[in-house]
Structure 1
Amino acid sequence: MRHGCFAGKTIGERLQIIRERTGKSRTVVAGLVGRSSDWLKQVEKGKIQTPRLPTLVKLAEALGVHDLAEITGSTAMPIDLSRRAGHPAVEALREAIEEMPLAVNDRQQPNVDALKHASANAWHLWHNSPTPRSSVGALLPAIIRDARRAARILDVEPRRSAYATLTSAYGLAHQVLAWVSDTPLLWLVADRAMNAAEHAGDPESLALGAWVLGNVWRASEREEDAYQLVTEAGTLLEPYLNNGDDTTRALWGALHLHGAITAARLGREGDALFALDQADKMPRKMPSGYVHSSTVFGAANADTTGVNVYTDLRKSAHTLDADIDALPSVHRRSRLWLDMARSYHQRKDRVATLQILQRATDTCEESMRHHPMARGIAGELVSNGGRNVQRDARVLAKRLGLTA
């Protein structure tokens, strides 16, 4: 993506071309530089003044641009921008995911049960640690390497079990890498998860692989493809709902919640509310208090996902009764408090927005520091919050890693 295709283009037009080619939404890019998606749209369309150099540098970093001249069109002041990882855990995970060892040591037989246990423990840590990326990032590269080795050297059923564990490990890798790594790595993780699921061959692994890939497609503005994928995956599980175990039912419910959120983003209210209603019924068919280890599907998850759905449908009043603290996942609670803040932000209630975003940050600061929506809302509160909000908003923005 060099300068020839940018001939005669303004800085705003160049930014839009690069953003679209990298598959990033305005919300994501704007959030990474602490601004709103509307601000970025105005920049791209040339309706406001061109950002100053420090902001252009931040935009270049968010877009993965190494040479600022691609954005400015000027070589008078060359600035080289090296790729930076959004979190220290990224590079070790990248190495484990990207490496392709052709020879493996087959003298020591892997313990598939131990691998499954290690993956389950890593998921538990993700949902319960106050620093989920740091905690899981220290363990996951070894789990991925060991599961890949097991899948290479074991036979038949143990191999399928190893692939099922590998699907789960890649699914967790996607959670760790979301918002902090480049788009190609996220796509690779999703592809590896789906490939491992196909090798495992069981409906639950295929459903989990679809859940992971659907998340990546939805984040890449392929909402329609994501909706179709998780709908088909749910259909795949339906013959096993009565005679299968709770894992099957939980994955079916999680896929419907995924579909509800995705349909809401597409503006398809009927499909979104139907999927939400279907998911809400499933916990009644499961033991009281059951929570799926990966997707955290259960009664609390089904109840609170309405925050996401109604916020995206811009029906903010419906989100106010959600019991977010009932969710058994620190990371997920912080994300839902963020969606609650977004709900208040839609209604321009800046005081409530600030208070709820502070609560999201108190719940899991690491997650909020790396979420573009949290950074974007905090940036807007600093810029436009008014005298009663701006001082505390600056403190919050500093916690989220923004210059305020």
Structure 2
Amino acid sequence: MDVETFGTALRRLRLSAGLSVREVARIAICGKSYVSDLEHGRRCAPSMCVVQALDKAVGANGELISLVANLANAAQAAGVDALEGDGTEVRRREFVGLTGAALIDTVLDASDDSARASSTFESLAGVLVDHSQAADGPVDLPSLAGAVWTAKRNYQSCRYSHLVGGLPVLLRGLRTACAVLDGEARLRANALAAEAYHVAASMLLKQDDKGLAWLAADRSVQAAQASQNPLMIGSSARIITHALMNGGHHRTATDMARGAALRMSAELTDSSPDGLSVYGSLLLRGAIAAAHGGERHRIAELLDEAAEAGARLGHDGNHMWTAFGPHNVLCHRVNIALRLGDVGAAIAYARQVEIDKLPVNERKATLLLDTSRAFLLQGRHEKALRILRTVGDLAIEEIAGRAAPLRLVRDIQATAPPSLRREAREYAASLGVGT
């Protein structure tokens, strides 16, 4: 293919649409530098899925797709492979497919946003260790509630780059609210703070920042206790359990989750969806902690009790931001079976999950990553890679910049059979993963 002709057409259509390179990259889920290189003929011919994404991004109504088809036909007639250009070796590790095209310079732009992200986490650290007197000022509790809702939604949708920037300001605002309000308003402010610190801790755990995650989790528990809301207290016990588990305190984490679930069971007798969801989620968190400690008897006990709570709830909802339900229980069975080395059981459980029943993308992505790992351990590399690419389609930020998923990418790349090696290498390169 004549890559210069394609690049010229792409630039013309982009300018006609009044779009910047960054905007096209964002819409097409491509790297900014990749789009720029295409426009200047510095890249090999893109795949058709990328062409289709770019065509849609610039509103070309099929013009780019037709151009590529015509150029490919002309090249074929001339005896030239449309993907090989002038016959020189194609730099295929620079290929960016649609699934994996949201490179690090899109999620956290390598030139600007990585430094900004680092600064944001430093600001978050400053908020978490600040024990000075809270600043006085006006408090808009409904606006704070809306900001907490947005933060939780961004987390569950795997929009982590949207989430982290607003956390320091949100936490400062809630700290002021908890200090200056009184009565029911203060209780409400503390409940909101418990939620906000909870999501901060969850984000930090994904970044493997155990120290800051522990601080945020502890702040969540303190705020929940101050809210005097049993549901909020139970919900925050989930994140402190998670922090304990990630710190290697598996027995303590299991005991804490089980104890918090028992207290909830005693205090909440109406079996409301909120109560059942928090109760069941605590049991699941305890089961994961028990799996880390290899306590098979406790795993079975906690999973069975969680399954019973899921059956009583009767659906997979997102009550109290738990994403709890029968299929969520199955997701945890997948994770635990994989952790215990029972790969066949993990895949069998995964096949039972109706993924559309899972209410949040973060839970879907986690399930798919576990399933990809299970297929890899069975030596079924093609299935492992296909599922991994599906995660990229669904929630690229669940892979890019996170250590564990990127290790999975490297493992697939390193062990792929010859028939799949090039595709695995190209996908790894699209995520910024070297050999």
TM-score with structure 1 setting the length: 0.72
Q: 1:194 aligns with which of 185, 210, 221?
A: 221
Alignment pair present for 1:272 and 2:303:
no
* Matches for 1:27-106 after TM superposition, within 5 Å: 89-106=120-137
RMSD: 2.5
Q: 1:339 aligns with which of 364, 370, 373?
A: 370
Cα distance, 1:380 vs structure 2: 2.1
Residues 166 and 196 in structure 1, CA contact (< 8 A), matched pair in contact too: yes
Partner of 2:3: none
Is the alpha carbon distance of 1:399 and 1:192 closer, same or farther for their aligned partners in structure 2, counting shifts above 3 Å? Answer: farther
Q: The residue matched to 1:139 in structure 2 has which SS? A: helix
* Matches for 1:156-305 after TM superposition, within 5 Å: 156-180=183-207, 182-243=209-270, 245-286=272-313, 288=315, 290-305=317-332
* Matches for 1:140-151 after TM superposition, within 5 Å: 140-151=167-178
Cα distance, 1:244 vs structure 2: 5.7
Q: 2:156 aligns with which of 103, 108, 127?
A: 127
Q: What are the superposed Cα offsets for residues 335-387 of structure 1, whole Å, 9 maximum, x if unpaired?
A: 11111112123323323222222222222111112332211122122223231
Q: The residue matched to 2:269 in structure 1 has which SS? A: coil
Structure (1 or 2) with the larger CA radius of gyration? 2
Partner of 1:370: 401
Separation (CA, whole Å) in 2 of partners of 1:275 and 1:84? 43
Q: Which amino acid aligns with 1:173?
A: A
Q: Which is further off, 361-370 or 252-261?
A: 361-370
Separation (CA, whole Å) in 2 of partners of 1:277 and 1:399? 41
Q: Which amino acid aligns with 2:364?
A: R
Q: What are the superposed Cα offsets for residues 299-355 of structure 1, whole Å, 9 maximum, x if unpaired?
A: 332232221121112222223313334311112211111111121233233232222
Q: Which amino acid aligns with 1:153?
A: V
Residues 264 and 279 in structure 2, CA contact (< 8 A), matched pair in contact too: yes
Residues 304 and 324 in structure 1, CA contact (< 8 A), matched pair in contact too: no
Residues 224 and 266 in structure 1, CA contact (< 8 A), matched pair in contact too: yes
Separation (CA, whole Å) in 2 of partners of 1:336 and 1:116? 30
The alignment-based identity, stated in percent, is: 24
Is the alpha carbon distance of 1:135 and 1:188 closer, same or farther for their aligned partners in structure 2, counting shifts above 3 Å? Answer: same
Separation (CA, whole Å) in 2 of partners of 1:87 and 1:102? 26
Q: The residue matched to 1:237 in structure 2 has which SS? A: helix
Unmatched segments (≥5 aa) in structure 2: 1-113
Q: Which is further off, 244-253 or 329-338?
A: 244-253
Residues 234 and 255 in structure 1, CA contact (< 8 A), matched pair in contact too: yes
Residues 260 and 272 in structure 1, CA contact (< 8 A), matched pair in contact too: yes
Residues 207 and 234 in structure 1, CA contact (< 8 A), matched pair in contact too: yes
Cα distance, 1:181 vs structure 2: 5.7
Cα distance, 1:211 vs structure 2: 0.7
Q: 1:353 aligns with which of 384, 391, 401?
A: 384
Is the alpha carbon distance of 1:287 and 1:138 closer, same or farther for their aligned partners in structure 2, counting shifts above 3 Å? Answer: farther
Q: The residue matched to 1:138 in structure 2 has which SS? A: helix
Separation (CA, whole Å) in 2 of partners of 1:84 and 1:134? 13
Residues 86 and 181 in structure 1, CA contact (< 8 A), matched pair in contact too: no
Q: Which amino acid aligns with 1:184?
A: G
Separation (CA, whole Å) in 1 of partners of 2:299 and 2:134? 48
Is the alpha carbon distance of 1:132 and 1:223 closer, same or farther for their aligned partners in structure 2, counting shifts above 3 Å? Answer: same
Separation (CA, whole Å) in 2 of partners of 1:386 and 1:316? 20
Separation (CA, whole Å) in 2 of partners of 1:117 and 1:287? 29
Is the alpha carbon distance of 1:123 and 1:394 closer, same or farther for their aligned partners in structure 2, counting shifts above 3 Å? Answer: same
Q: The residue matched to 2:294 in structure 1 has which SS? A: coil
Cα distance, 1:85 vs structure 2: 8.6
Residues 376 and 412 in structure 2, CA contact (< 8 A), matched pair in contact too: no
Separation (CA, whole Å) in 2 of partners of 1:347 and 1:85? 41
Aligned pair count reads: 318
Partner of 2:145: 116
Separation (CA, whole Å) in 2 of partners of 1:331 and 1:288? 18
Unmatched segments (≥5 aa) in structure 1: 1-82
Cα distance, 1:86 vs structure 2: 7.2
Residues 324 and 337 in structure 1, CA contact (< 8 A), matched pair in contact too: no
Separation (CA, whole Å) in 2 of partners of 1:233 and 1:304? 22
Q: The residue matched to 1:348 in structure 2 has which SS? A: coil
Separation (CA, whole Å) in 2 of partners of 1:387 and 1:204? 53
Q: The residue matched to 1:221 in structure 2 has which SS? A: coil
- Structure showing greater relative contact order (alpha-carbon pairs closer than 8 Å, 6 or more residues apart): 1
Is the alpha carbon distance of 1:180 and 1:233 closer, same or farther for their aligned partners in structure 2, counting shifts above 3 Å? Answer: same
Residues 314 and 325 in structure 2, CA contact (< 8 A), matched pair in contact too: no
